[in-house]
Amino acid sequence: MNVGNGRLFETERGKGRKIYRVFAATVFVSVVWIWVYRATLMAPASGRWFWIGSFAAELWFGLYWMLTQSVRWNPTHRRTFKQRLTQRFGNELPRVDVFVCTADPVIEPPMMVVSTVLSVMAYDYPPEKLSVYLSDDGGSELTFYALTQAAIFSKHWLPYCRNYKVEPLSPAAYFKSAASPRDHTKHRQDFIVIQRLFEDMKNRIEKVTNIGRVPNKLRLEHQGFLEWDSFTSPRDHAAIVQILLDHDEDTEGHCLPKLVYMAREKRPDHFHNFKAGAMNALIRVSSIISTGPIILNVDCDMYSNSSDTIKDALCFFLDEEKGHEIAFVQYPQCFENITKNEVYGGSLRVLREVDFHGLDGIDGPLYVGTGCFHRRDILSGKSFGSSSDQGSKLTDWKSEKDTHYNHRETENIQILASCTFESDTEWGKEIGLKYGCPVEDVITGLSIHCRGWKSVFYNPKRNAFLGVAATTLDQTLVQHKRWSEGDLMILISKYSPAWYGLGRVHPGLLMGYMMYCLWATSSLPTIYYTVVPSLCLLNDVQLFPQVSSTWFLPYAYIIISTTAYNYFEFLGCGGTTRGWWNDRRIWLYKRTSSYLFALLDTILGSDLSFIISSKVTDTDVHERYEKEMIEFGVSSPLSIAVATQSIINMICFLGFAIKSMLMDTRTREAYYEAMAIHIVLCFVLVLLNVPLYLGLFVRRDKGKIPSDVTVKSIFLALFFCTIFAVL
Binding site residue list for Mn(2+)? 275, 299
Q: How far apart are CA 300 and CA 623, in angstroms?
A: 24
Burial class (CB in 10 A: 0-12, 13-18, 19+), 323: buried
Q: How far apart are CA 132 and CA 114, in angstroms?
A: 11
Exposure string over 220-238, b if 16+ CB within 10 A, otherwise e: eebebbebbeeebebeebb
In the chain, the amino acid numbered 561 is S
Torsion (CA) 604, 607, 613, 619 in degrees, nearest 10: -80
Burial class (CB in 10 A: 0-12, 13-18, 19+), 566: middle
| Strand 326-330 versus strand 372-375 pairing type | antiparallel
441 is catalytic: yes
Helices and strands in the chain, H and E counts: 27, 12
474 is catalytic: no
Q: How far apart are CA 286 and CA 99, in angstroms?
A: 9
Give the closest residue to 378 by CA, choosing from 431, 417, 306: 431
In the chain, the amino acid numbered 311 is K
Exposure string over 47-62, b if 16+ CB within 10 A, otherwise e: beebbebbbebbbbbb
Between the alpha carbon of residue 227 and those of residues 233, 241, 407, 409, the distances in Å are 12, 9, 15, 17
Phi, psi of 85 (to 5 degrees): -60, -50
Tell me the torsion sign for CA atoms 160, 163, 164, 169.
Answer: positive
Binding site residue list? 108, 137, 275, 299
Who's near 141: CB < 8 A, 6+ residues apart? 213, 214, 225, 228, 232
Active-site option among 137, 250, 319, 355? 137
Give the closest residue to 632 by CA, choosing from 683, 573, 697, 684: 697
Q: How far apart are CA 500 and CA 484, in angstroms?
A: 19
Binding site residue list for UDP-alpha-D-glucose? 108, 137
Give the closest residue to 439 by CA, choosing from 511, 363, 519, 367: 367
- Which H/E stretch holds residue 76? strand 76-80
Cβ proximity of 121 and 155 under 8 Å: no
Active-site option among 441, 487, 583, 601? 441
Other C-beta atoms within 10 Å of 707: how many? 10
Other C-beta atoms within 10 Å of 524: how many? 18
Cis peptide before 126 (omega within 30 of 0): no
Cβ proximity of 466 and 301 under 8 Å: no
Q: Which residues are catalytic?
A: 137, 441
